[in-house]
Structure 1
Amino acid sequence: MTRFPYDQFAKDYLTELLQPLGQVETSRKVPSEVREIDVYFAPSAQSTSDTIQIGLLGKIATKPALIEPFRNAATITEIRSCMNKLFDVFAQIKRQTKGDEKPLDESALPMLWILSPTASDSILNGFRASIDEENWGGGVHFLGDYLRTVIVAIHQLPRTQETLWLRILGKGRVQKQAIDELEALPNNHPLRAKAIDLLLSLKTTLEVNQNTDQEDRDLIMRLSAIYEQKLAEAKQEGLREGLQEGIREGLQEGIQAGHRQVIENLLQVRFGILDAELIAIIEPLLLLTPQEFTPLLLQLSREELLERFR
């Protein structure tokens, strides 16, 4: 199962939650070589009530942070790779302050937060990770002070409102429980609709992916129930006017919007920022079915796509 759908979902999801708190940069290039930081966050000067709304994630966002979410349990190699990115950032900061006689302020350096759905005892012991139960609770494992790295074992987080927004990025039973809690929030909760819309976008992306496993299919089924509920709520509010033709048109528009989101996601994953040339080929691609455009977007080069659909 490719990591792309979940990787893009996690970036979009974290961006939506963190934007009110500061500057969010996804796929930030590391200058030493072609590597990218999934989410680079710099808090704004003034804190807001949004910090409290997202609980433990808001606590993480009180200081500069590199956030690396994983769909599957982060391996030793992947954790080391993330730490290498962190050290490259340290080196970049050092170069920017060259000539300054003052030593680097360790407390001002960003922290690396590795969000892993699970983490084995051997992994945590191997990195000499320890918890700070009093200040952070369970599931948050700190490496040595000067390493400035934290492994968040999502499956170990307590099932509380404070950890909900991180448990959404979990896997299997943990993620399903978090989705249940998300759905149970009041309809006027400021983050509920955003999170659900992003999850439904993930559902659409997974549905056109040809390599889904049983866990993906279970997630699709769970999210399908939310999708059906949203349709029922929209109908009840009179948005669909009770007419069968209106329902069909509304569904078609929703499907078309979902296809557009899938195409945009795949183009971003393949080629980065959507420039004017890539945006121009989205409409022609929408004339194809997902079964037709998905392999083309995954296999053809940028030049081949532009030549074929320009």
Structure 2
Amino acid sequence: MASTVAGWRCVVRRLAVRGQTSACGTLRPSAAEDASNSKRIALTAGKRSSRRRRARGACLFVGLVRAACQRAPVMRNRFDRLAKDIAQEGLTPTGKVVTDAEVAGDPQRADVWYEPDPARASGRERLGLLGRLAATACTIEAYSDTPSADEARACVEKHLAVWRSCGARDRAAEPPFLWILSTGRPTAVLDGLRSETMTGWPAGVYEGPRLLRTAVVVLAELPRVRSTVLIRLMGGGRVLREAIDDFRQLPEDAPERAIALGPLLRFRAEVAKRGPATPEEEEFVMTTQELVDQFIEQGRTQGIAQGIAQGAIELYEARFGPMPPSLRSAVEAMRDLPTLRTWLVLAGTGTREEVHDALTAAPAGRSS
């Protein structure tokens, strides 16, 4: 309707210029001109409306593309997401962690930015080598493959931008460090940085020029020991496969399990839902199947254990009155099913002293 009205106004202006007026001074186009103008107006209005719709669509598309380019972090590899999640899960209890962190003055983003909390420094000890990396404020760039020289140069540029930003905020603060985690040996990167084996660190850790505060960790060269499990889980290929094998052998109460099991299972569910896109992803799904089975069995066992423990407590209190808090804690913490079954029978048939002696002598929280 608005387009038609605008068209008529245009016709009125043209007719006014021609001086076509009626006897009473108002504009009156002839019947032929009226039909012709109406047709021309409808055609013009339709074209304008179509052009406006195309223009709006093009603007919207360009806006969406720009927003995606500005906001969405570039995912080099789907396994890099797993590395970020493990770092976040492990480091969050000891400081401030930001994944896909924006870098001031740089359109790119850092994989992980970490600022330690001095009051929670003791928590980093349970993280092994990952905890040592996080002794100071740092950027962690994780590659589930092997980064090129250009990729490493981009990491250094982001690191320097972060360094400048930190210096502007607090000149007295210790400069941040850059850790580049590479699954394979990035020969061009190590040569370009003139990296040397880092004194006092395990094999596979190389330090660049001290002026840059940059180091490269070659995950494939790290020793296969417990202290490196978490950081090797941030790799890919053979390194990740071996790390998962070592992870499965950890005790059930190992802190590494509490940190990495969630990210591993979430990533596996994501890959399985979308469908493995590469042979490496397909292998990951098969390799982690045992972790899924263990998780399900553990949940089932814990549910049974909690039920037996609650039964033992209720049976004891029905016979002897309220259970002492220390004994209640021992029963609730126990996960060994045979022990819990013994306690359940004892709570129903033994004396108060026999129950107390049995609960006091048992090792705390023994796994089944």
Report if TM-score (shorter chain) is over 0.5. Answer: yes
Equivalent position of 2:100 in the other structure: 27
Q: Please give the residue correspondences for 1:132-147 in structure 2 after superposition, counting only pairs within 5 Å.
A: 132=198, 134-147=199-212
Shift of 1:197: 1.8
Q: 1:85 aligns with which of 145, 150, 158?
A: 158
Q: 1:114 aligns with which of 180, 196, 215?
A: 180
Shift of 1:90: 2.1
Given residue 245 of structure 2, which amino acid in structure 1 is its aligned partner? D
Structure of higher CA gyration radius: 2
What is the rounded CA distance, in whole Å, between the counterparts of 2:258 and 2:85 in structure 1? 14
Q: 1:168 aligns with which of 221, 224, 233?
A: 233
Q: Please give the residue correspondences for 1:190-205 in structure 2 after superposition, counting only pairs within 5 Å.
A: 190-205=255-270
Deviation per residue, 1:14-64 (Å, 9 max, x gap): 011011221111222112132211111111122443221111111111111
**TM-score, normalised by the number of residues in structure 1:** 0.69
Given residue 220 of structure 1, which amino acid in structure 2 is its aligned partner? V
Shift of 1:127: 2.1
Equivalent position of 1:65 in the other structure: 138
Given residue 90 of structure 1, which amino acid in structure 2 is its aligned partner? W
Shift of 1:6: 2.2
Deviation per residue, 1:213-248 (Å, 9 max, x gap): 111111110111211232233334456xxxxxxxxx
Distance 1:231 1:31, change over 3 A: same
What is the rounded CA distance, in whole Å, between the counterparts of 1:180 and 1:205 in structure 2? 21
**SS across alignment from 1:125:** helix
Q: Which runs of 5+ in 1 are unaligned?
A: 98-103, 240-310
Contact in 1 for aligned 2:82/2:234 (Cα 8 Å):
no
Contact in 1 for aligned 2:129/2:227 (Cα 8 Å):
yes
**TM-score, normalised by the number of residues in structure 2:** 0.59
Contact in 2 for aligned 1:24/1:40 (Cα 8 Å):
yes
Shift of 1:3: 3.7
Within the alignment, does 1:180 sit opposite 2:245 as a pair? yes
Contact in 1 for aligned 2:230/2:256 (Cα 8 Å):
no
Contact in 1 for aligned 2:83/2:233 (Cα 8 Å):
no
Percent of matched pairs sharing the same residue: 30
Equivalent position of 2:82 in the other structure: 9
What is the rounded CA distance, in whole Å, between the counterparts of 1:208 and 1:4 in structure 2? 17
What is the rounded CA distance, in whole Å, between the counterparts of 1:227 and 1:126 in structure 2? 42
Contact in 2 for aligned 1:21/1:61 (Cα 8 Å):
no
Shift of 1:86: 0.8
Within the alignment, does 1:223 sit opposite 2:288 as a pair? yes
What is the rounded CA distance, in whole Å, between the counterparts of 1:76 and 1:173 in structure 2? 22
Equivalent position of 2:168 in the other structure: 95
**SS across alignment from 1:91:** helix
Q: 2:192 aligns with which of 110, 122, 126?
A: 126
What is the rounded CA distance, in whole Å, between the counterparts of 2:290 and 2:281 in structure 1? 15
Contact in 2 for aligned 1:5/1:205 (Cα 8 Å):
no
Contact in 2 for aligned 1:138/1:156 (Cα 8 Å):
yes
**SS across alignment from 1:159:** coil
Cα RMSD over matched residues?
A: 2.3
* Segment of structure 1 superposing worse, 184-193 or 194-203: 184-193
What is the rounded CA distance, in whole Å, between the counterparts of 1:57 and 1:173 in structure 2? 19
Equivalent position of 1:250 in the other structure: none
Equivalent position of 1:273 in the other structure: none
Count of residues in correspondence between the two structures: 232
What is the rounded CA distance, in whole Å, between the counterparts of 2:298 and 2:161 in structure 1? 49
Structure with greater contact order relative to length (CA < 8 Å, sep ≥ 6): 1
